[in-house]
Amino acid sequence: MLIRKPIFPGVIELNFQAGEVLGCNVYLVYDQDEWILIDIGYEETVDDFVEIIRQLDFPLSRCKTLVATHADVDHIQGLAKAKQLLKTTVTGHPKAAKPLREGDTLITLAEIEAQNLKLAMPPVEIEHEVNDGDIIKIGNIELEVWHTPGHTDSQLAFRHGDVLLSGDNIYRDGCIGAIDAHHGSDIKAFVKSLERIRDSDVKWLAPSHGPIFRNDKEFLNRTIDRVRGYLKMADFGTLADSWPLMDQWDDEVAEGKLPEGLVPPTA
Ligand SMILES: [Zn+2]
């Protein structure tokens, strides 16, 4: 038997519980015997996580559902296996349903050919689609569902009192979940999701990767300003809104303007 190490009332993070980082953060939310998992991580760590849960003395038959924060392989590859082991259901955003059902390796970023990255993405059905404002009940605990698109279009966060299980929205170092057009990133939506987190009275952010940290306005603002800047940067390709340099180039071409000090040869 293991002694439970909850971080908040009714919330255990399984890597922290294990004293060892096995993968993405896996939150076990419980009230008495009933429990859920928020994310499961890679398939190869499912057995480890289930063994920890067993040793924490949670009845495996009382797993109400497995929740996918979003449809990225590092969070959900193990869902099919865990679902079978625990004989339970899967919960996620409607936009995660199709890539999970189809085991889509492109949208889940399981396969990045140019990087020689090729991971399996076992298909899994989502039985319970949830959207913003829905409540997930675990015993007497009510988790409020937030839809926070930006990193992906299916990204969810879950409010439990003072705490937001905040997914891949922001991490303790101010980094955010990867921006990649393939899995539905949207920079404007990202800014809105971050503003929503900043403007809420949530005290603690419990992200899907790395340590838990305080919801601090100044800190959020620094990230929001940076992300807003991405909208006008060529670095972000088709996800940027505009590229101001091209407007300047239009004008300069029309004026026949060259850099100061550059004297073109006469024809
Ligand atoms: Zn992700």
Nearest alpha carbon to residue 6 among 155, 150, 163: 163
Both structure tokens of 210: 């790395």
Q: Give the distance (Å) from ligand 1 centre to CA of residue 90.
A: 17
How high is the pLDDT of residue 22?
96
pLDDT for residue 108: 96
**Domains in the chain, please, with CATH?**
11-255 (3.60.15.10)
Whole-model pTM: value is 0.94
pLDDT at residue 72, as a whole number: 96
d(CA 167, ligand 1 centre) in Å: 8
Structure tokens at 222: 């620094």
Residue with tokens 């006008």: 232
Neighbours of 59 (CB within 10 A): 11
Q: Where are the beta strands (DSSP E) in 115-170?
A: 117-118, 128-129, 135-138, 141-147, 156-160, 163-167
Whole-angstrom Cα distance, residue 1 to residue 155? Answer: 34
- Give distance in angstroms: CA of 72 to centre of ligand 1: 5
Q: How far is ligand 1, taken at its centre, from the CA of residue 151, in Å?
A: 7
177: CA distance to ligand 1 center in Å?
Answer: 6
| Helix, strand or coil, per DSSP, at residue 66 | strand
Residue 263 CA to ligand 1 center (angstroms) comes to: 50
- Distance (angstroms) between ligand 1 centre and the Cα of 92 equals 14
Q: How close is the Cα of 87 to the center of ligand 1, in Å?
A: 25
Rounded distance from Cα 250 to ligand 1 centre (Å): 38
Cα–Cα distance between 238 and 219 in angstroms, integer? 28
For residue 260, the CA-to-ligand 1 centroid distance in Å is: 46
> Tokens 């891949």 sit at which residue?
168
Angle at 216 between CA 213 and CA 219, to 5 degrees: 95
- Ligand 1 center to residue 149 CA distance, Å? 11
Blockwise average pLDDT, block size 10, the chain, 267 residues: 96 97 97 97 97 97 98 97 98 97 95 94 98 98 98 98 98 97 95 98 98 98 98 96 96 96 91
Distance CA 72, CA 24 (A): 11
| 245 C-alpha to ligand 1 centroid (Å) | 31
Quote the pLDDT of residue 126.
97
Calculate how far, in angstroms, residue 51's C-alpha sits from the geometric centre of ligand 1. 25
Q: How buried is 151 (Cβ within 10 angstroms: 0-12 exposed, 13-18 middle, 19+ buried)? A: buried
pLDDT of residue 267: 82
